[in-house]
Each structure stands twice: as structure tokens, then as C-alpha cells.
Amino acid sequence: MDQINFKNLTILLHFFESTKCLLPYHLNYHFYCPLSHCHLSSSLSWSVPVLCSHRPAALPFARLIDWRLATVQIASDRFPELHFILRAIPLADLIELKRKGRFFFEHFLADSKVVVNAVLSTMRVLLQLPGMEQHEPQTVPLYRNINSTDGISFSSAAFPSFVSTFTKPPYDDEYLGPIELPLESPSYEHNFTALSLYSAQIWNHFPMALGVSPRFLPFAHFLPSDSEFGEDTSFGMRPVLPGSGQEFALALGGNRPREQFTIIILAYNREQVLLNTLERLNNLPYLNRVLVIWNDAHRLPFTPAWPRLHVPVLFINGTRNSLNNRFVPYKEIETEAILSMDDDMDIKQFEIVFAFRVWREHRDRIVGFPARFHARFGDDNFYNSNHTCQYSMILTGAAFIHKFYLHAYTYHMPEIIRQKVDEWMNCEDLAMNFLVSHLTRKAPIKTTSKWTLRCPTCSEMLSKDQSHFVERHQCIRFFARVYGYNPLVFSQFRADSVLFKTRVPHNHQKCFRYV
């Protein structure tokens, strides 16, 4: 080792658990070296590269990838201190470096497809060329227009419908917000800022947005609070006037313009249960539209009539019975916010509106109601639905999700996970939690005290089958093997409204009556 000129070499030290390996090789500082690519790729897949050089190493896509997130770079003059520097790295930092290294390897170096995509994306950033639109499949309508000649087009008039006579129960009659016409979220606003302002975030944390112009971004910046009242910045803003609950209910407030959400309901062979769920959504504030994905490809619903809501209700043919259909980013979804629901979810309107308000402040997380957690018993992880003081998952049978994650789930999540979901007919909600936690390293957010959403009128439920829980144990273990670690993050709090359980003067109102 004394014969090595360290000023002309880059040293990669691979360390994994107790194994250390020193691999010196020559690196041309002006041209990319294929040998260095091989060494870097092999090290990223299972270890943390340690680069020791007197000038910056020529790493692939270094203009856009922040290699400090996955490597340890040390000046060659400090090589004698290498042992002490590496010993000083905390375990959490070491694991994160290894995780990020594998993340970069899988998205930029693993095979020719991702390398070519990264090269083209680099050229697009340097030339400031927006990409193509994100692929969003067209829905296959469940009810077709009988006058259609192509057999595909449809209209809401072709749907069986009636004017619902459903009356809200007394505990759900509070004013929650204005009933407005459908309003879609502004699309493709970040075509150019995705190449500059958000470039580092996309390349280093959300690389599935490379090669396209993302329709929406879950990490887009928000406006300053005084923008609500600026002459040039107040358009679309709905400021909350001074006061308490009454003023709060009149507007969305927050630091973003007004917006709405889309409800996606996955339904199968339970028409009456679905009908009851749709009735409860009538006159729900901030609702843009409802998409009902009928997952029974062998028959149409027997119900001759569906409730007519204040917003469009689109019935979609799932074409095949797959739980992955819940997360298909259909073109008809025109809002960033999506409330994913099972057909048997009995959620009150005030709970939905409150969860929507919480999601608007945490758009990159899953926000919802039923919380679950994973626990370690012996040598394995287990799925657990018991009452607990910490959770790591929110079931997507009643949860708000950003549409960006639907693209990530359908087109960029490892294919083997979607295949296992179809094989077991289970665990799509766990897969989405794994994906979001893997990308953000944040825990989901639970709202309200509701722990289990029961359906007393449901004669058949997948969750009642004992094998359902056994499969979910297997899902957690399998997904962890696919990702190389368990990305789920624990949380020990839930979200309630500001004045919940607070005594207010008689002339004031709480934000919500019950949450």
C-alpha cells in the first residue's frame, strides 16, 4: 500500500457489517472510466463507497445526483485518519447511506434501460426541454352509451340514477363548507421548474418523475401566508376570517389556493353496500367527483338505480379483479388529492373534510383513519391491528393520497410487488404504505379517534378470513426483502382539530363538533 500514489487514485472502501474491502483503481478526472462505473455499481448495491482523492471524483450524473447522500468522500491528505472518520459515522447515518446508495443504483445504474433514461433526462435538464405528459390510462366505462357507435364513449345520462331521498342523521348536519362546482387542480404547472427548482428533489428522491413532465408534485412549494390578501397573489385563495368555528367552516384557508378531491371507491359484488356509501357522499363539500371501480369483470351490478349526487359519478370497469386497480392513475382523476375508499367504509362527512384539511398541509404523506402497525416477534415481522400507541401504516380503504403516488405505484414500484398483490388478492394497502415511506422516509398521519371501520350490513368481508391476516404477515416480510429493508416509519400521534376538547366561550364555536 505504501507504493500507491493516493493523489492519483480514488480508493473505494466497501464496508458491510464487519466486512471491509479496499479497492484502489485509477480514475481519469476528465473522462468517465468504465472500470470506475463497474466498481461504483457493485459497491452501491450492498455497501457504502468511500472515496479518497485530492480532487472531486468523476461520478456518473454528478451534476444532478448528490452523491454525498450515498458516499463518503474524504480528501487524500486525510487518508491516515480514515479509520477514525469511518468509526465516527453513526449507525443511522450509515444505514441511510447504504439505503440511498441502493436507491441510486436501482434508478440510475442497474441496467441499460435506467442508464439510457438517466442520460436522456440529463440532456433534457441541460437543454431545459420539458418532457412528455405522464401516461394516464383512459377508463373503460361500466355503462356504455347505447347510442354510441364505437362502443366506448359514454355519458352520465346512460347511468341508472334517481334523486336520493336520503336524509343526514342529526349528528352529521353541521356546516362543513360551501358546495361548489367541480374544480380540477392546475395541471403541468411545473414543466420548467421541474428542470431547475425541483430538479434536485426529483433526481435524488423522486426519480420516477424523470423523463416526463409531472402533472402534479407532492412537494411543490406553497405561498406565504400574506398572499391570501395580495392584489396579484390572492386569486383562488380562500382565507379564513378572524374568529373560530363558524368562520373556519366557510373557507379552506391554508397557504394554497382552493382545491377539491376525488373519491375512488373499489367495489365488488356488494351493490347495496355501495349504494349506501354513495348516499352518504351527497353534498359533501370540496368533492370533485366519484370514481367507482367495479372489480367484478364477470357481471354488471344488479342495482337498477344509483343515487344522483351533486358531483359526477363515473362507474369504471376494472376489466379484471385486481386490487391494484385501486391505484391506477386514471386520466379522469383531475385533482391532486385522492380519497381512496372501500365500498363498505362508513365515514362521516366531517371526518372526511377534516382529513382533507390535514392532507393539504402534508401532501407527501398518507393521511387517513384506520391505523395499523408492524411488530417484531422472534425473528420475523408481523402485521398487527390491535390497539396500540404507535402505528406505521394507514389502510387505504379510507385514506387521502397524492395522485403522484398512483403513478409511482402503477409504473415504477417493483413489478414483483404488484404480482404478489394479485397472487394473494391482498396487501395493496401495505404496498402503498411501503412505497410512500420508502420515498419520503416519513410516517403516515392518522386522523380522529376512529380505529376500526365496521360494516354491520356486510355479509362478506376479506378481512374476516383468518388467512387474510396470515397473508399480511407474509406481505410485510416479502416487501421488506424486495426493498432490502423495512421502510415503514412509526408515528406516536394522531391529528385532531385545533379546538378539539378545548373549552371555548359561549359565543364561539369549535372548528368541528366531534373531531
135, three cell numbers: 401516461
The residues, any chain, with a CB within 8 Å of residue 145's CB and separated by 6 or more, are 153, 154, 155, 157, 158
The residues, any chain, with a CB within 8 Å of residue 116's CB and separated by 6 or more, are none
Which position has the grid cell 367495479? 294
Give the C-alpha separation, 379 to 381, whole Å: 7
Which of the 8 DSSP states describes residue 491? Answer: B
Which position has the grid cell 385563495? 237
- Which own/partner pairs from 243-248 qualify as long-range (CB within 8 Å, at least 24 positions apart)? 243/508, 244/499, 244/504, 244/508, 244/509, 244/510, 244/511, 245/499, 245/508, 245/509, 245/510, 245/511, 245/512, 246/509, 248/511
Which of 346, 379, 429, 465 is the catalytic position?
A: 429
Measured in whole angstroms, how far is the alpha carbon of residue 285 from the centre of its chain?
23
Number of neighbours of residue 53 by Cβ within 10 angstroms: 20
If DSSP states are collapsed to H, E and C, what string results for 95-141? HHHHHHHHHHHHHHHCCHHHHHHHHHHHHHHHHCCCCEECCCCCCCE
Give the C-alpha separation, 29 to 7, whole Å: 12
Axis crossing angle, helix 91-104 with helix 34-44, rounded to the nearest 10: 130
Q: Is 173 a catalytic residue?
A: no
Q: Return the active site residues.
A: 429
